[in-house]
């Protein structure tokens, strides 16, 4: 093995406000950590209901309105249909939803709640208050954060840029 003649290491970069690459200054880092922590808060709340967080999002969409086309649910929860399909199959196996061909368009798969899926909504009504309590953050602060994130999503999502100008 050949030894390096220059064993000097570059000086460590200090994470200060002048460093544009400081980890703590990165929006992506803050969002990723916050997302993992918040979604992790849901896990022990949803487990007794037999739901994962992505499944909970699908159920929320169906509790708002049903039947819904699989493609519409995918758009609402912002998942690709190919990602959503196995998740929906697990919800069907658990007895919460049914998948059937749409009577309006045979190419569309319609999702409907089962009676058990409708009953699950009663348990789910307690989820938001349990999450707020587990996070230990004021509701007003969470509402403000939600509004800010929703605004950001609206400005940067592909759908926003695809909207024709009036």
Could you tell me the CATH number of the domain that includes residue 85?
1.10.10.10
Residue 85 lies in a domain: yes
Residue 114 lies in a domain: yes
Residue 67 lies in a domain: yes
In angstroms, the Cα distances linking 11 to 6, 17, 20, 22, 25 are 14, 17, 17, 15, 20
Number of structural domains found in the chain: 1
Residue 79 lies in a domain: yes
pLDDT recorded at residue 157: 87
pLDDT recorded at residue 108: 80
Q: What is the signed CA dihedral for 101, 102, 106, 107, rounded to 10 degrees?
A: -90
pLDDT recorded at residue 81: 86
pLDDT recorded at residue 78: 94
Residue 112 lies in a domain: yes
pLDDT recorded at residue 91: 98
Q: 72 lies in which domain range?
A: 51-120
Give per-residue pLDDT as tens, 22-49. Answer: 999 999 999 999 999 999 999 999 999 9
pLDDT recorded at residue 104: 73
Percentage of the residues of the chain whose pLDDT score is greater than 70:
85
Closest CA to 76 of 125, 35, 111, 120: 111
Residue 100 lies in a domain: yes
Is the distance from CB of 22 to CB of 15 less than 8 angstroms?
yes
Residue 25 lies in a domain: no
Residue 59 lies in a domain: yes
Give per-residue pLDDT as tens, 103-153. Answer: 777 778 899 999 999 999 999 999 999 999 999 999 999 999 999 999 999
pLDDT recorded at residue 166: 45
Average pLDDT of the chain is 88
Give per-residue pLDDT as tens, 55-66. Answer: 999 999 999 999
Name which residue leads in pLDDT, 80 or 159. 80
């Amino acid at each position: 093995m050949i030894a390096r003649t220059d064993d000097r290491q570059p000086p460590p970069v200090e994470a200060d406000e002048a460093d544009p690459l400081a980890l703590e200054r990165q929006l992506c880092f803050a969002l990723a950590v916050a997302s993992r922590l918040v979604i992790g808060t849901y896990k022990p709340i949803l487990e007794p209901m037999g739901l994962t967080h992505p499944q909970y999002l699908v159920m929320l969409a169906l509790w708002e309105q049903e039947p819904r086309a699989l493609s519409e649910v995918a758009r609402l929860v912002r998942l690709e249909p190919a990602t959503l399909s196995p998740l929906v199959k697990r919800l069907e196996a658990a007895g919460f939803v049914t998948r059937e061909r749409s009577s309006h368009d045979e190419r569309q798969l319609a999702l409907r709640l089962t009676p058990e899926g409708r009953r699950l909504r009663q348990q789910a009504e307690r989820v938001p208050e349990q999450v707020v309590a587990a996070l230990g953050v004021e509701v007003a602060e969470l509402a403000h954060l939600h509004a800010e994130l929703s605004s950001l999503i609206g400005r940067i999502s592909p759908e926003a840029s695809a909207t024709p100008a009036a």
